[in-house]
Amino acid sequence: MLRRSVLLGLVAFLPTLAACGGSQVSVLVLAGEEGAEKPEPNLALEYLPFDRDSVFEALIAAAEDPEPQIPEDLKAQIDSVAVLQKALSEAEAGWAEAREALQNLSRRLQRLDRRSREYQRLYRQFDGMEASVSRLDNARQAAFGRYTDLQQQTQGRSDSIQIVIEAWEEIAFEDYADIETQLQEAAGRQIRHDTTNAEGVATSRLPGGRWYVHTRVPLPLDPSFSELYWNVLIDPGLSDTLRLTRENAVIRPRF
């Protein structure tokens, strides 16, 4: 097909390097909320001897129909879901902390003589804390309602656009597997796979040449809609652990 010959022509210009030597590479994946990143265990990593993003860019450019775009108002709605989920998480944490303090005070009261001044003082404190816990519980339930309502609305819209995107990708990316095979043959190296350990680290020995490490992690605040995506060129002179963090990730929708 003409379209296929055009794609093969594009592949010829993708950068590859012949294998020579080899090295051991350690990769640490740190995900989680911003400012509170933590190691990501049991995460599948893919090492590729070519830039997968360049392949997809070539396929998108050669597609007969333009790539479907996510409506801007849906993007804003997804951002709002993340904001409401964060507010819900904070409300739940505040309520749980206050409830635990109330339970601790209740146990302390049970050990006191009800006729004592200490009991009377703490009982008044208990009344105030009980009212505070009730207010926090109401706020928590209200936050849950706002979040679930918008999350359900957003999920319905995202499911609809996902059907459109997947139908387009099935046609536009149908040659990807063949191109992937040709690139591996041209580089003289095969795609490698590994998995991070409990500390979020994976160590592999790779043949010499150009390598990219690829993986992805759903964002904790809106895992249904967004993810951290990595496709990072490994520095051949790397002497320390390669860290995959938010700084070298792309935050993108999960469609």
Handedness of CA 75, 78, 83, 84 (dihedral sign): positive
**Over the chain, what is the mean pLDDT?**
88
- pLDDT digits 0-9 by tens, 147-192: 999 999 998 999 999 999 999 999 999 999 999 999 999 889 999 9
SS (H, E, C) the chain: CHHHHHHHHHHCCCCCCCCCCEEEEEEEEEECCCCCCEECCCCEEEEECCCHHHHHHHHHHHCCCCCCCCCHHHHHHHHHHHHHHHHHHHHHHHHHHHHHHHHHHHHHHHCCCCCCHHHHHHHHHHHHHHHHHHHHHHHHHHHHHHHHHHHHHHHHHHHHHHHHHHHHHHHHCCCHHHHHHHHHHHHCCCCEEEECCCCCEEEEEEECCCCEEEEEEECCCCCCCEEEEEEEECCCCCCCCEEECHHHCEEEECC
- Structure tokens that stand for 54 in this block: 């360049």
- pLDDT digits 0-9 by tens, 47-95: 999 999 999 999 999 999 999 999 999 989 988 998 998 899 999 999 9
Q: Are 22 and 205 in contact (CB under 8 A)?
A: yes
CA dist., res. 166 & res. 255, Å (int): 8
Residue 21 has pLDDT above 70, yes or no: no
For the chain, percent of residues with pLDDT exceeding 70: 89
- Structure tokens that stand for 241 in this block: 């652990």
The per-residue pLDDT for 254 is 77
Q: Of the candidates 67, 35, 54, which has an alpha carbon nearest to the alpha carbon of residue 231? A: 54
CA dist., res. 32 & res. 16, Å (int): 33
Domains plus CATH for the chain?
Answer: 15-52+174-253 (2.60.40), 72-169 (1.10.287)
CA dist., res. 91 & res. 36, Å (int): 18
The per-residue pLDDT for 135 is 96
The per-residue pLDDT for 8 is 58
- Structure tokens that stand for 139 in this block: 């706020």
The per-residue pLDDT for 11 is 55
Average pLDDT over residues 95-99: 97
- Binning pLDDT at 50, 70 and 90, where does residue 17 land? very low
- pLDDT digits 0-9 by tens, 186-224: 889 999 999 999 999 999 999 988 999 999 999 876 656
The per-residue pLDDT for 120 is 92
For the chain, percent of residues with pLDDT exceeding 90: 73
Residue 123 has pLDDT above 70, yes or no: yes
Name 192's bridge partners.
47
φ, ψ at 99 (rounded to 5°): -65, -40
